[in-house]
Amino acid sequence: MIGHDVKIQNKQRNALKKLFCGAAAALLISTAAHADYSSHPGAAAFVKTMVEKHNFDRDWVLAILKQAEPKQSILDAMSRPAESVMTWGRYRNIFIQDSRVTQGVEFWTEHREALARAEKEFGVPASMIVGIIGVETRYGRNTGSYRVVDALATLGFDFPRRATFFLGQLEEYMLMVREQGFEPFSLKGSYAGAMGFGQFIPSSYRAYAVDFDGDGKVDIVNNKVDAIGSVANYFKRHGWRYGQPVVSSAVLKDDVDQSLFNAGLKPEKTLAQLDKAGIGSDRVLEPSQKATAMKLEGEKGDEYWLGLQNFYVITRYNHSAMYAMAAYQLSELIAADMQKVTTP
């Protein structure tokens, strides 16, 4: 293992030389124009962790922090995520569009074999995989414009409310680029540091991304097949139940207990308990099945839904009921149009 560690450090030193040679002029400018995260009060502890816990070369880590640029636009975006300021009606219109459905059918058609294989291997419907990629990046058309290093450093060092989480993601990112052989400044993503077709944060990349085309590299940034398999694996690992429903429209009785709505994303009460409290289902479901009751402000008034286990799994991808509903409804529309295309 000592020899392996030396090789790692030598590779990092060689990469460091390229880093400085290729960006020497930029460094001279950026150190004057931007905050230097290598001298941030929290940097010493971070560098120590990377060196002592993960055997990184100290100078390599410092060079990454020195070149990471703070982005005020990222801090602004974190203060106003769409889910917290929009009604369900407005939020839905962002993602449920004819063009996104059409593009979803095209994506499915182009990657029919990989999607069929993912559904068989992981037990996650092809429509759901396509729906997630459609919501996240419009099938790879919008994977983010921020350098991942900049996003994670900005949030890790300059966003105190979630600094611990994002410094953890920066740690995961450095491990990820070492494992996959990526150039650390080459990857771009969202303002929160999510990457690729399915927008995985670094910890999810390392935990759930898979080499689904067998080329020996796990690449959900450039490889659509790997992205398909990785989204499916994520859902399987979070408890997706194949063939089971996702949501049901709620049927309200006169004496409904309103406090049960939007009480949490996790299904906690059985359908029998909810029915007794005045919240029924518009479809026949097993009474012992657990659900969460939701009230969403739609364009034409309030909508009432029951989210089941598979709905909860979608919220593990993004902890928002509106996100999960948008992804599911998009997947259903794509599946319906795909059926028209494939039916003789």
Question: Can you give the pLDDT at residue 12?
Answer: 54
pLDDT digits (tens, 9 = 90+) for 68-99: 999 999 999 998 766 667 999 999 999 999 99
Given a cut of 50, whether residue 22 has pLDDT beyond it is no
Query: Residue 305 corresponds to which tokens in the numbers above?
Result: 């839904």
Q: Given 119, 136, 171, 172, which residue is catalytic?
A: 136
What pTM did the predictor assign? 0.88
Could you count the other beta carbons within 10 Å of the beta carbon of residue 122?
23
155 pLDDT band, cuts 50/70/90, is very high
pLDDT above 90 (res 120): yes
Q: What is the mean pLDDT of residues 20-39?
A: 52
Q: Is the model's pLDDT at 123 over the cut of 80?
A: yes
Mean pLDDT, residues 105-113: 98
Give the model's pLDDT for residue 61. Answer: 98
**Of residues 14 and 160, more confidently modeled:** 160
61 C-beta neighbours (distance < 10 Å), count: 23
* Confidence at residue 84, expressed as pLDDT on a 0 to 100 scale: 66
CB 105 within 8 A of CB 341: yes
With 0-12 / 13-18 / 19 or more C-beta atoms within 10 angstroms meaning exposed / middle / buried, residue 165 is middle
**pLDDT tens string 201-253:** 999 999 999 999 999 999 999 999 999 999 999 999 999 999 999 999 999 99
Q: Assign residue 87 a region: left if phi > 0, alpha if psi is -120 to 50, beta otherwise? A: beta
- Break the chain into its structural domains and give their ranges: 1-67
Tell me, yes or no, if 136 is annotated catalytic: yes
